[in-house]
Amino acid sequence: MLPTPRTEGPYRVALVCLGNICRSPIADVVVNARLADAGLDELIVVDSYGTGDWHVGEPMDRRAAAVLTQHGYDATRHRARQYPAAGTDHDLVLAMDTDNLDELGGASERVRLFRSFDPEPGDSMVPDPYYGGDDGFTLVLRMIERTSDALVEQLSGLAEGSRLS
């Protein structure tokens, strides 16, 4: 179940990984594309961040951009950002792995693992493909696509329930 909106207006979702150049930008692009396809992009805003500041202002990793482009997504608009130390006013914050989750202060009503929405069983973490080969980025994209579909389905239910304006 999704947490209720904090305020009126768009429901805000933050996607968080370590450096904001691989996993969370892939998820950002895919979730936003799925929301647009569902006609929900005016009701739900998705942002991505890293827990670290190493890549702030940089585009996503070239391999992440390449796998997105190969699968028909637009990977050009992303610039890495760091998750604010004071937190955010997002309605839902989704971490890519347990280390990211711990950096965010641990699980709570509004903070959880991204793959908690994944319909397939697994260890609930999106593995970091940074130090591996191109096949790791393809695996991450597949994982993110199916999880995004399930997340958008739940967000759609929230929108249909008239809790978003």
Distance between CA atoms of 161 and 144, rounded to whole angstroms? 25
Catalytic, out of 28, 61, 97, 128:
128
17 catalytic per annotation? yes
Instruction: Please confirm, yes or no, whether 22 is among the known catalytic residues.
Output: no
Query: Rounded distance, CA 100 to CA 103, Å?
Result: 5
The C-alpha angle with vertex 33 and arms to 97 and 95, in degrees rounded to 5, equals 15
The overall longest dimension of the chain from CA atoms, in Å, is 44
Active-site residue, selected from the candidate residues 17, 34, 91, 112? 17
Question: Choosing from 12, 22, 23, 63, which is the catalytic residue?
Answer: 23
d(CA 111, CA 108): 5
Query: Catalytic: 77?
Result: no
- Taking the C-alpha atoms of residue 104 and residue 69, their distance in angstroms, rounded to an integer, is 30
For the beta sheet containing 111-113, the strands, ordered from the edge strand earlier in sequence to the opposite edge, are 44-50, 11-17, 92-95, 111-113
Residues tagged active-site: 17, 23, 128
